[in-house]
A and B are shown apart, each in its own frame.
Chain A
Amino acid sequence: MSQNKTYSLLSRLVDIRPEEVTPSLLMFFYFFLIQVSAYIIEPVKISLYLRWLTADRLPYAYLLSALLIGLAVALNSELLQRTRRAYYLAFSLLFFISTLILFWFLFRIHWPWLSLIYWFWSDLFMVTTTTQFWIMVNDLYHPHQARRLIGFLVSGGLLGGVSGALLASRLARHLGTENLLLICPVLLLFCLVIIFFYSRLPGKEEKQSAPSGARSTPLTTWREIRSSRYLSLLAAIVAMGMIITTLVDFQFVSVVGSRFAEQDARTSFLGSFLTVLLVFSYLLHVTMTTRILRQSGLRLALLIAPVFLLLGSLAIFFVPAIYMIYWAVIIKGTDKSLSYSLNQSVRELLYVPVSPEIKYRAKVFIDMFVSKFAKGFSSIILLVSFTLLHFSLKQISLVTIAFILLWFMFNLEIAREYVNTVKKNLKIKWQDANLVISENIDLDLTKLVFDTLESKKRSSVLYAMNLMDLLKTEKLSPELKKIISYKADEVLARSMDSMLESGGSFSATDLDRALEQEDLGQDIEQIMSLDVYREVMKGYIDRISADRSSETETSRMEAAKALGLMEPDPAVSRNLKRLLTDDSPDVAKYALESAARLKQREFVPLIIRHLGRASTREEARRTLASYGSRIIGTLKDYLSDKEEDLNLRKAIPDILAQTGTQRAADLLSLELKKQDEDVEAEIIEALHRLRSRNPRIVFQKELILPEVTRQIKQSYWLIIKLNEFKEKKEGWLPFQDLEASLAMHLKRIFELLSLIYPPDEISRAYQNICQGTRKSLDYSIELLDNILPKELSLLLLPIIEDLPLEARAKRCQKLLKQLEKSMLEPGPATGR
């Protein structure tokens, strides 16, 4: 079958990319073969042990296995670090093949304690091969890839397990229990072939467990785990799970031992039990695991097993003795089926946010060492409770319940820690640009500096007035003063009166000195507040402000500036209103500046008009913003009025944002709900700025979410269009426009999401999406999965995922239909 056909077939079953087909199939079959072997080895192990050493001695098997596995883990860890991955895997397989043949031979001599050694060996096989499989998975895939493909890979293992258990069940009576072992070496030889191809796969990242020169021992790994709260919790839940599994296993094997006396019949029963168990697990896995993880999230997935086992353990107190085998089958079935399906996927997911340097060491240590220690611990519990204190199976259930409650608590805790750990893995590449600018640059000061420099050329009076303003801000650095004073003499000589031409001139430094030493600023304020001053100036300003000729433009600019420095009175207001309607943008700018100082309500309509003029829009924005929250209502009226000049309306959301108030946020959110496309972009941007300026502002989800959905729908439409035009991609302008439009919609979606979900995290996710690397994208999706409601993150996926355009378009079409059909407005107040 060609690669394309395989992909086409697989993509119907699993969310897979073309380049992932070969490695995923290799891993699927590898896990399948390993698990076939494991599920032949497992019933043989239990059956032979019950024959030779009986259920009473089970705690010894658990204990011995746990103790010796520690040494094996240390050896395995050493080999993992010292050997190339492919060699390490091949040697392990060769070891298991040869020892399997050896066991088959030795079982012929009927030595009872051999079943104990075989018990340990089979545990070693299970732990080593499974851990090695997951190490291979981690080498091959990035976190989000792994998340997509885990279901498929685990299915391979489950199918293998079913096949193995079925073989054991069907062949035990015909071949004999011991002879079943000879099937496994053949299967493992196929695994060797897969390892050969695996070692030649491109793009896999063979992550060494420790940097060179810093190889770790189990003790240092243990210290690393202890120093990380997340890894400690991970180890704790693995330990709790293992203790509970061992206690349940003991109860199950005890019941089976007393029910089935004949060895091959017992092997056959165990094979059948494991077959049904695995089929059930498989069905559970394919129907529920992904759904639970995607729709309910990690937290719920972590709590399912404890809840069911708690109910199962309580049930023993209500089951009659003759039905005990059914109870044993059900509780063992619950534990194992959840462990093979949901718990397995959840545990692998929990490793995702751990950094690669620690992940492999920690994984080996926890999976092999911690879990075996927990098994040893539970065997001691059994030795004390069953062998010494002669607890009944019911009393052992009480012990199990205690551990289930602990497990429940640890699971809750790690779910919380998981989100924090994912966050740490995401890098913030930039902060909100507006925030950075407003924090680092004083826009008003910058404007004043430019105005001052500009006014040098126009008039000595304007220059002096601007310089005065500038120096009053007390923010001028010596360097800036030098720049402003540069060539001041030359300019003044050209523009000033005859008196100054004969030697009088001033610079910023002179003026600064005068201001510091002699309270010049205070004198000027006092002069301008004098009645006589206003009387002197009144006639002049009246005359100038009424004259619209170009000859008096500079004088009108001076007058406009001076009015802002005067005490407001009817004459000042009258003249400023005249100058606010001046046709000259330069005059209007100074009039706007003065209006910002005087802040009289009667100027507002005249100022708002300037929002429609490109030349004075910025100054008008600044002026209106200086009025603060008292003109929010007026601004909102203009924004809502569709008859108004569009440029004027477009400028208003930003002014509302500058107020930084809850009321502005509420009004803008209400305007957003109207879905007025003319001003939608400006409103979203303004809302985002409000969020940046004032983190205490609360945005209403019911107003924001419909707009998020609308933006998502528009993005879907763009992706579908892009796919239609993909043939013309090369330099085709409309294609580039569509791409730009899609990027813009994505930005808007994230700006909106930052209003109702943690803004820092949303911003991180967006930045990492923009970064565009596979890894950053994976972490972003991981983070979004954890902060957004499931249905919303599912809607976002086709827009942000790294999929071929065709596949994205297909998904968009499907989701678009769903959205239109159900009129879904995602997650009404379901945010975490």
Chain B
Amino acid sequence: MKITTREINDILIVDIEGEIRRSDITDLTLHQWIKQQLERGKRKILLNFEKVEFIDSFGVGEILASYISTNNLGGKLKLVRISRKLYLIFQVTMLTRVLEIFDDEQVALESFFKE
């Protein structure tokens, strides 16, 4: 997993690349990385999955843990351009009713602005 970031206004756009899976744990997991950003005062985070090739249940757990951590600090974590398979998983697990998921980055950013 490789992470690069961009920042538009106070929104941190996190571009994730590669695979998020249990067998491929790097020194820093997605949740730990998000926690670092939260510690740095970031409260509006948009995770971009456009270049994520694979994500397993461990990866979903990382996203959910990140969501809780952000939420607990009064922040917002949203998702953009997730794969069809991941969307299907979120549908079946009803996570689409809790997580904010977007197909278009601009629409996602606008949703932050509206808040």
Are A and B physically bound partners? yes
Interface residue ranges, A against B (CB under 8 Å)? 460-461, 464-465, 468, 497-500, 502, 504, 506, 510-511, 514, 518, 520, 522-524, 526-528, 530, 532-533, 535-537, 540, 555, 558-559, 562, 565
**Other-chain residue from A468, A506, A530, A540 in contact with B57 (beta carbon distance below 8 A):** A530
CB pair A527–B88 under 8 Å, yes or no, is no
Measured between alpha carbons, how far is A30 from B67 in the docked complex, in Å?
A: 104
Which residues does chain B contribute within 8 Å of A562, judged by CB atoms?
Answer: 93-94
B64 at the interface (CB under 8 A from A): yes
A530:B101 contact, CB within 8 angstroms: no
CA distance A530 to B89 in the complex (A): 14
Is the beta-carbon distance between B64 and A530 smaller than 8 angstroms? Answer: yes
When the two chains form their complex, are residues A504 and B61 in contact, meaning their CB atoms are under 8 A apart?
Answer: no
Does B112 belong to the interface (CB within 8 Å)?
no
Give residues 55-100 of B contacting A (CB, 8 Å).
56-57, 60-61, 64-65, 67-68, 84-85, 87-89, 91-99
B94 CB contacts on chain A under 8 angstroms: 461, 465, 537, 558-559, 562
The DSSP consensus for interface residues of chain A is helix
Contact residue among A506, A530, A535 (Cβ-Cβ distance under 8 Å from B84): A506
Q: Find chain B residues with CB under 8 A from A518 CB.
A: 85
Chain A residues near B89 (CB-CB < 8 A): 520, 523-524, 527
Asked if B92 and A536 sit within 8 Å, CB to CB, the answer is no
A528 to B97 CA separation, bound complex (whole angstroms): 14
Judge whether B50 is part of the interface by a CB distance below 8 angstroms: no
A532–B64 CB distance below 8 A:
yes
Which of A460, A468, A498, A559 is within 8 Å of B103, CB to CB? Answer: A498
**Is the Cβ of B67 less than 8 Å from the Cβ of A464?**
no
Contact A499 B103 (CB under 8 A): yes
Other-chain contact of B92, A464, A498, A502, A535 (Cβ < 8 Å): A464
With contacts A461-B96, A506-B84, A536-B68 known, what are 13 further pairs, Cβ within 8 A? A497-B103, A499-B101, A527-B61, A527-B89, A527-B93, A532-B61, A532-B68, A536-B99, A540-B98, A555-B97, A558-B94, A558-B97, A565-B93
Q: How far is the CA of A460 from the CA of B87 in the complex (A)?
A: 11
Q: Does B68 lie within 8 Å of A514, measured CB to CB?
A: no
How far is it, in angstroms, between the C-alpha of A514 and the C-alpha of B91 when the chains are bound? 14
- Asked if B25 is at the interface (CB within 8 A of a chain A CB), the reply is no
For residue B82, which residue of chain A has the nearest CB? A499
Task: Give min CB distance, B84 to chain A, whole Å.
Answer: 6
A524 contacts B92, CB within 8 Å? yes
A461 to B89, CA, bound (A): 10
- Is B107 in contact with chain A by the CB < 8 A criterion? yes
Contact residue among A464, A535, A559 (Cβ-Cβ distance under 8 Å from B91):
A464
Asked if A537 contacts B98 (CB within 8 A), the reply is yes
- Report the interface size for chain B: residues with CB under 8 A from the other chain: 27
**In the complex, which residue of chain B has the Cβ closest to the Cβ of A511?**
B88
CA distance A289 to B91 in the complex (A): 80
> Smallest Cβ distance from A459 to chain B, in angstroms?
9
Does B53 sit at the interface, judged by CB under 8 A?
Answer: no
Interface pair A506/B88, CB less than 8 Å apart? yes
B7 at the binding interface (Cβ < 8 Å):
no
Binding site for A on B (CB under 8 A): 56-57, 60-61, 64-65, 67-68, 84-85, 87-89, 91-99, 101-104, 107
In the complex, residue of chain A having the shortest beta-carbon distance to the beta carbon of B96: A461
A502 to B102, CA, bound (A): 11
**Which residues of the other chain, A, contact B107 by a CB distance below 8 angstroms?**
498
23 contacts between A and B (CB under 8 A): A465-B91, A497-B103, A498-B102, A499-B87, A499-B101, A499-B103, A500-B87, A506-B84, A506-B88, A510-B84, A511-B88, A514-B88, A522-B57, A523-B89, A524-B92, A524-B93, A527-B57, A527-B93, A528-B93, A532-B65, A536-B67, A540-B98, A559-B94
Please indicate which of the listed interface residues B57, B93, B97 has the most CB atoms of chain A within 10 Å of its own CB: B93
Q: How far is the CA of A565 from the CA of B56 in the complex (A)?
A: 18
**Cα–Cα distance between A527 and B22 once the two chains are bound (Å):** 13
In the assembled complex, the Cα of A50 lies from the Cα of B57 at a distance in Å of 111
Instruction: Report B4 CB to chain A, min CB distance, Å.
Output: 23
A338 to B60, CA, bound (A): 93
Residues of A within 8 A of B95 (CB): 533, 536-537
Establish whether residues B85 and A514, one from each chain, have CB atoms under 8 Å apart when the complex forms. yes
* Residues of B close to A524: CB separation below 8 A: 57, 89, 92-93
Assembly CA distance A536 to B60 (angstroms)? 12
B58 (CB) vs chain A CBs: closest residue: A526
* Cα-based distance from A480 to B86 in the complex (angstroms): 25
Q: Return chain A residues, CB-CB under 8 Å to B57.
A: 522-524, 526-527, 530
Closest to A504 in B: B84
Smallest beta-carbon distance B100→chain A, Å: 10
For B68, give its contact among A465, A502, A535, A555 (CB under 8 Å): A535
Of the candidates B88, B102, B103, the one whose C-beta lies within 8 Å of that of A464 is B88
Which residues of A have CB within 8 Å of B102? Answer: 498-499
In this complex, the member of A461, A502, A506 whose beta carbon has the largest number of chain B beta carbons within 10 angstroms is: A461
Q: A497-B101, A530-B57 are in contact. Are A461 and B64 (CB under 8 A)?
A: no
From residue B103, how far is it (CB to closest CB) to chain A in Å? Answer: 3
In the assembled complex, the CB of A520 is this many whole angstroms from the nearest CB of chain B, namely 7
Chain B residues closer than 8 Å to A523, beta-carbon distance: 56-57, 60, 89
Tell me which residues across on chain A come within 8 A of B99, comparing CB atoms: 536
Task: Tell me how far the C-beta of A196 lies from the nearest C-beta in chain B, rounded to whole angstroms.
Answer: 88
Distance of A522 from chain B, by nearest CB (Å): 8
Q: Given known contacts A461-B91, A497-B96, is B60 in contact with A527 (CB within 8 Å)?
A: yes
Instruction: Give the shortest distance, in Å, between A593 (CB) and chain B (any CB).
Output: 15
Q: A499–B107 Cα gap in the complex (Å)? A: 10
Please state if A530 and B61 are interface contacts (CB–CB under 8 Å).
yes
Question: Smallest CB-CB separation from A515: which chain B residue?
Answer: B88
Q: Which residue of the partner chain A has the closest CB to B87?
A: A504
B92 touches A540 (CB 8 A): no
Chain B residue contacts of A535, Cβ below 8 A: 64, 68
Instruction: Tell me how far the C-beta of A556 lies from the nearest C-beta in chain B, rounded to whole angstroms.
Output: 11
Chain B residues with Cβ under 8 A from A559's Cβ? 94
Q: Which residues of A contact B97 (CB under 8 A)?
A: 461, 540, 555, 558
Shortest CB-to-CB span from B96 to chain A, Å, is 6
Complex alpha-carbon distance, A510 and B88, angstroms: 10
**Do B92 and A533 touch across chains, with their CB atoms under 8 A apart?**
no
Residues of A with C-beta under 8 A to B88:
464, 506, 511, 514, 520
